[in-house]
Amino acid sequence: MQTALVLGGGGVTGVAWELGLLAGLVERGVPVTGADLVVGTSAGSVVGAQVCSGLPVEQFYEEQLVPPSSEMAARLGFVALARLVWAGGRTRDAVRSRARIGAMAVAARTPSEASRRAVIEARLPARDWPARRLLITAVDAATGEFVVFDRDSEVSLVDAVGASCAVPGVWPPVTVGTRRYVDGGMRSSVNADLAAHAQRVLVIAPTSAAFGPMPRLSAQVAGLRAAGSRVAVVTPDATARTAIGRNVLDPARRAGAARAGRAQAATVVDEVTDLWV
């Protein structure tokens, strides 16, 4: 496997920033959206499904500039964050930590699964898994098991993306069969280690935050490099962080985040070109 594109979590503004960055890189002649493998976590699962659809990334970027109509406004405020950290940070056992987060998510009052599924469907240009290899991450809410969905998982693309985006305490866990799943970012905000064996790996990470026993992005990148992969990591610059703001779940900030991502492409294009071309 030659190339891998790893897309991390970061809310609706993370989706917008990633799409802006990708559109800016493609505009400058760096075909990163054609990676052999795409790994998507939370916001990155949305972007991954979009870029693997075969449609131009420019189309998805332009959609971020339009006032949101199908998105639900939400807030991951201090109290919700504190509950999340408290639930997952009381043990060094990563699986137990995630199971506690899952229990908190199941007990939380959230919008209905059906209403949230409609939002996810509106984000996706296709309902079928792409031919290209796309990995989407989630966590089993009951057991804390880390799960990676792909086209062979017998899980619909909408449900896989919905599960990966199911922020505990904000959105409902996604039911697939007899299991319920929450955000893949509860294992890692990026899950870059899933790109192992790729010769060249581009990691686009709206956030690299970690708490409790979560693996750090820096450790995952070090592991990839130790195994022989060439890796470049792009995170929001100061202008993008300002555009994204404190509430990454605020749809009103999508356009600003998208434009900031596109502008940032100009500052990272040389580094990414050296890796990719």
Residue numbers annotated as active site: 42, 183
Q: Are 262 and 241 in contact (CB under 8 A)?
A: no
Measuring CA to CA, which residue among 93, 187, 179 is closest to residue 142?
179
Query: Residue 169 to residues 6, 102, 133, 190, 238: CA-CA distances in angstroms?
Result: 25, 9, 30, 20, 29
Cα distance between residue 242 and residue 92, in whole Å:
33
Q: Are 20 and 236 in contact (CB under 8 A)?
A: no
Residue 20 has which token pair? 């802006």
Alpha helices in 65-148 (DSSP H): 78-88, 94-107, 113-123
Q: Are 153 and 125 in contact (CB under 8 A)?
A: no
| Collapsed DSSP state (helix, strand, coil) of residue 24 | helix
Q: Are 167 and 126 in contact (CB under 8 A)?
A: no
Q: Find tokens 């899952």 and name the residue.
A: 102
Query: Residue 158 to residues 46, 178, 201: CA-CA distances in angstroms?
Result: 9, 17, 26
Cα distance between residue 21 and residue 18, in whole Å:
5
Cα distance between residue 100 and residue 11, in whole Å:
22
